[in-house]
Chain A
């Protein structure tokens, strides 16, 4: 059931909590402990805003094990406003078409569908088209 493995990542998964390097101010997600920019120790937690834009996207039709119930789903690489790139699903797209450059915002959602009636529910970050814009488009 992978209980400890998922539990250790609660802050990162639920809230996009990364690190800021105290030496060079680089914002890191996910947390790495050794800053890839300056090579020094980075341990201070940093809360990302969740705002970003789509760097690339693709729709998965042939899902790997455990994800079939969600298929088809759209994956993206999202460039966070603070700099890092993350891989995550796009959600709540509705009838909008994903596009490179589309502004998105982080939401906390189920990473695996709840059809397994006995297992733990896994929550994590996904990104959706910014809501204020959706209302304008409607």
Chain B
């Protein structure tokens, strides 16, 4: 397979964009990415989105966004894998370019969660769970994560506020990201006194729902002009794995098996071990997901992932920086668009363009998106690209 490089990136701030529609948000990110790539025009568009039908009465996003972006006529489709939608769209774009069938692929993650009231948004997000056997019982994604966290804390005797570090780190990092929804560090006392949303999760254990669009332009290095303005970043590994849809159908609900397998395969493809990564953009929709993702990637034994949150090892200057530009917790959770943001942020890090949030000398990034509690896991390994 041929190399696949990220030639352009673009993103809107993550926020409640009352004045911007889905198509307008999408266009902003697409134009920014194409411009960043020196005006390169794609011949395919892959859109990662989860809820446009449920919340905006709009399906058929491929045709809509290609048309709206003045790319009418190109190949275009929407890809859905719950929270991992944009990551899956990135994989599809990667496969299209790597196969040689598509020269330039534009990958867009776009989502609007603010056009309906929260009760409807929660109901729509719950469509990513088992509709007949989970959602119908009144389960939300938050309640599902709470069930997971409650059991985890009980089985592994995690001390009170043991998961706080994930949230605090994310917020500290978000302060350096001009596109993040929350840009202020949070003190531990604030975390400790926060309102319980669904025990044991408090407000700070849960990523905020928001709108956003982020895009990446993928192509083969040889199609780019010689003096290309940015350091090139390649997608060196890509893997998507599924697990049982319903959390209750897992033989061991406390293991993110799909996340584990996708990390192993993506890393094997990229010729690295997970510990070789200089940063890990994990899917911190809930603090418990962070702990379980670290365990799944092999950084901890089962039940010990929470220890990473304690001692600063996940800070920008630590052994394993996570959520380097705020993660889902501080940059925000724009639903199915999230995977595109994670890839854009990892690219900024590898280009050395992360400013105040820069991980020094970052050369390799592990990027992972999850659909639900790793019912789908999509992992990419991004590397600084050496033409030779």
| Interface membership of B132, Cβ < 8 A | yes
Cβ distance B370 to chain A, nearest Cβ, rounded Å: 18
Task: Report how far A5 CA is from B131 CA in the complex, Å.
Answer: 10
Residue numbers in A under 8 Å from B248 (CB-CB): 77, 84-87
Chain A residues within an 8 Å CB radius of B123 = 64-66
Please, which residue of chain A has its CB at the minimum distance from the CB of B244? Answer: A36
Q: Is the CB of A111 within 8 A of B147?
A: no
Nearest CB of chain B from residue A33's CB, rounded to whole Å: 14
- Given the complex of chains A and B, what is the CA–CA distance between A9 and B119 in angstroms? 25
Q: Which residue from B119, B126, B151 sits with its C-beta under 8 Å from A100?
A: B151
Q: Does A46 contact B (CB under 8 A)?
A: no
The answer to the question of A62 belonging to the interface, with a C-beta cut-off of 8 Å to chain B, is: yes
Q: Mark B131-159, 1 if CB is under 8 A from A, else 0.
A: 01111111110111011101100100000
Contacts of A55 in B (CB 8 A): 151, 253
Contact of A64 among B122, B130, B199 (CB under 8 A): B122
Answer yes or no: A30 CB below 8 A from chain B CBs.
yes
Partner of A76, one of B126, B136, B147: B147
B132 near A30: Cβ-Cβ < 8 Å:
yes
B246 within 8 Å of A (CB atoms) = yes
- The closest CB in chain A to the CB of B254 belongs to A56
Asked whether any CB of chain B lies closer than 8 Å to the CB of A108, the reply is no
Residues B139 and A65 in contact, CB atoms below 8 Å apart: no
Taking a contact as CB atoms under 8 Å apart, the answer to whether B119 and A68 are in contact is yes
Confirm or deny: A63 has a beta carbon within 8 angstroms of a beta carbon on chain B: yes
The residue in chain B whose Cβ has the minimal distance to the Cβ of A84 is B248
Q: Give the complex CA separation of A9 and B199 in angstroms.
A: 30
A58-B146 CB under 8 A given contacts A9-B132, A86-B133 = yes
For B190-230 the 0/1 string (1 means CB < 8 A from A) is: 00000001111100000000000000000000000000000
Does A87 contact B246, Cβ atoms closer than 8 Å?
yes
The size of the chain A interface, using a CB distance under 8 A, is 33
- C-alpha spacing A60/B130, complex, angstroms: 18
Q: A77 touching B133 by the CB < 8 A rule?
A: no
A58 to B225, CA, bound (A): 56
Q: What residue of chain A has the Cβ atom nearest to residue B201's Cβ?
A: A58
B156, chain A: closest CB distance, angstroms? 13
* B247 is an interface residue with CB less than 8 A from chain A: yes
Chain A residues within 8 Å of B160, by CB: none
Distance between Cα atoms of A75 and B136 in the complex (Å): 11
Q: How far is the CA of A93 from the CA of B201 in the complex (A)?
A: 21
Q: Given A57, A62, A73, A124, which contacts B147 in the complex, CB threshold below 8 Å?
A: A57
Q: Is the CB of B253 within 8 A of A64?
A: no
Contact yes or no, B126 A64, CB < 8 A: yes
Shortest Cβ distance from A15 into chain B, in angstroms?
15
Among A5, A62, A89, the residue within 8 A (CB) of B122 is: A62
Known: A60-B143, A61-B197. 11 other contacts (CB 8 A): A5-B132, A56-B148, A58-B200, A63-B138, A64-B135, A64-B140, A66-B123, A70-B138, A87-B133, A89-B137, A124-B136
Interface residues of A (CB under 8 A from B): 5, 9, 30, 36, 55-68, 70, 73, 75-77, 84-89, 100, 111, 122, 124
Interface CB pairs A-B, < 8 A, 14: A58-B147, A58-B150, A58-B201, A60-B140, A62-B122, A67-B138, A70-B138, A77-B147, A77-B247, A86-B248, A87-B130, A87-B144, A88-B137, A100-B154
Q: Which residues of B contact A (CB under 8 A)?
A: 118-120, 122-123, 126, 130, 132-140, 142-144, 146-148, 150-151, 154, 197-201, 244, 246-250, 253
| 3 closest Cβ pairs, A-B complex | A58-B146, A64-B123, A56-B151
